[in-house]
Amino acid sequence: QVQLVESGGGLVQPGGSLRLSCAGSGSIFSVAAADWYRQAPEKQRAFVAHITSTGSTNYADSVKGRFTVSRNNAKNTVYLQMSSLKPEDTAVYYCNAAGKWPWGTAFDYWGQGTQVTVSS
C-alpha cells in the first residue's frame, strides 16, 4: 500500500516561511508527477503547484513567485517551500502523486494533509 505523508505545517506570521514535505513510500516519486493542493475552510480544494517526474514545474497564479515546488527522488520526497505567506494561504495542504507504474497500471494517491495557518 502506497502512502504519502505530509509534514512541516504549522502556525506562521504573515510574511513568514514554511517548507512542507511529502514523503512517499516505495519508489513512487521516481515515476510520478506530484501536485500540491490546498483546501481552506468552506472552500473547494484548489491546485497550488505541480512538478513532473523530470522537474518541470507550474504554479497557481496566487502563489507564483512566493512558492517553490521541488523533489528529491533519491529521498522519495517532494517539497513545497512557501515564502511571503499571507493569511489567505491558510489551509490544509495536500500532496498528490499520479502516474503509471512500469507495468502500466495507473495510480493516484493523496496524503492526509497538513495544516498551515498564517496569522499574527
Residue pLDDT, tens place only, 61-119: 999 999 999 999 889 999 999 999 999 999 999 999 998 888 888 989 999 999 999 99
pLDDT at residue 9 in the model: 97
Give the chain's radius of gyration (CA, Å).
Answer: 14
What is the spatial distance between Cα 79 and Cα 69, in angstroms, rounded to a whole number? 6
- pLDDT score for 85: 98
pLDDT of residue 46: 98
Question: Which residue, among 98, 104, 115, 1, has the nearest Cα to 51 in the 3D structure?
Answer: 98
